[in-house]
Structure 1
């Protein structure tokens, strides 16, 4: 991984940090050797072997210096590639983790929460996956073939997870919208039943019928409560229909709609029954 390459690079730099020292030693040796050659030029001394050795030494030193720079560049590139790949991996992993947390949230009962989920999933950046693939390719070009498999596996795993979450996101958002409408519906039903009970009790106590009728009309007609409930049910039906097209095997939302409709039918009958009761009594 990156740490191993960084460690290798550090060792490399430490070792070759003494290059100038050895270069200076070699320069001194070359100088001394040239002086020796000059001093024996007059005599009949064979310096060929020594000259060849010195030439070989200089060539080896230059070769090592050049290659040390080349290897430092390669190691630096490998560290850079590892860093970029890990960064892309981290960004996508973090997003997927957050996405999974949002998807598994159970209690979502405000419009703001639903909106925040929408924003999160709609702002997903497709470039992240492109960057992951690109940085993985760059990294693999720095690695020997026997070390490339984990990189390939990581990319494939993240791509699969990414596709899975993105295909699931629309369903998740639909369910959120549905649950929000369902919560609203349940609150309406609770309030309506409370109102029915209040009016029924007043009626049973033979309180002023005109006042009860006025209250009944205000609550159920003027305020548009019934229309709001029906609008809520229509929304749920639309969402359930869309959801079924995406996920035909899951009938949970359709089942919930049936339950809601049945519930509303029962409550609506109670509302109508109360209205009829009120209007059967002659005005006082």
Structure 2
């Protein structure tokens, strides 16, 4: 017996087998037409001879014609059902694949630990900013089309798959803004620590120069150039302001997670 469940490949295999078997339908139909003509000629000859009952023969011939018509009509119906099922399975699996691939990529990006360039942050922003809600709509629609092909007792796996992907989709999208805030925070945090290293190095150089009793005016000029003209202090304070903003926004979204607040407090104390 034919079945529409089991996935695209299983249904396609049945369709191929079905089409191969019924590919000679026209040949057998022509044989039946020829057989009917021969039979009618025989009946005419018998009728002319008279006194011969052809009722049983007529009934058998009619039964054969009816069976052939029934089989060929049902073969066409099942071929259409199988073709529709193949199409529905293909469309559903394709939507399922697109969303699964996106979710996998999203989870990989969220789990990245070392993100220290603005370019990487921008890549994440673009990725999470170009979410195509149409994908979920298409998934639901293709799932419904597929379920329409299947008996009710074979629909549960399709429903489960859609519900699982929808749940994961919502989970990832709800976390995406938090992820981006953390990225921005960590980027400024990295920049802050780089500045601190530069400042400590500069102070150490100036301290050594002072200890060696080098020209104080030269040391002061160097100090002014580094801390004032280059705007290092202003840039560091801007980093801290940015981190405070990200930490506050993050806490507003995720009150139970205090990690960024703790980090920015530590940085403020260090500064």
- The TM-score range, normalised by the shorter chain, is over 0.9
2:36 corresponds to: 30
Name the stretch that deviates more: 41-50 or 230-239. Answer: 41-50
- Of 106, 117, 121, which residue of structure 2 is paired with 1:114? 121
1:217 corresponds to: 224
SS in 2 for 1:250: coil
Name the stretch that deviates more: 37-46 or 173-182. Answer: 37-46
Residues 24-69 of structure 1 show CA distances to partners (whole Å, capped at 9, x for unaligned) of: 2211210110110111111221112211221121122112111111
Quick one: distance in 1 between partners of 2:148 and 2:47?
54
2:105 corresponds to: 98
Alignment of 1:1-284 (within 5 A): 1-42=7-48, 43-264=50-271
Calculate the TM-score normalised by the size of structure 1: 0.92
Would you say how many aligned residue pairs link Structure 1 and Structure 2?
A: 264
Quick one: distance in 1 between partners of 2:86 and 2:230?
68
Stretches of structure 1 lacking an aligned partner (at least 5 in a row): 265-284
Quick one: distance in 2 between partners of 1:114 and 1:8?
50
Residues 169-215 of structure 1 show CA distances to partners (whole Å, capped at 9, x for unaligned) of: 00000000000000000000000000000000000100000000011
Calculate the TM-score normalised by the size of structure 2: 0.96
SS in 2 for 1:248: coil
SS in 2 for 1:141: helix
Moved beyond 4 Å, runs of 4+: none
TM-superposed deviation, 1:15 = 1.2
Residues 224-282 of structure 1 show CA distances to partners (whole Å, capped at 9, x for unaligned) of: 11000000100000000000000000000000001111111xxxxxxxxxxxxxxxxxx
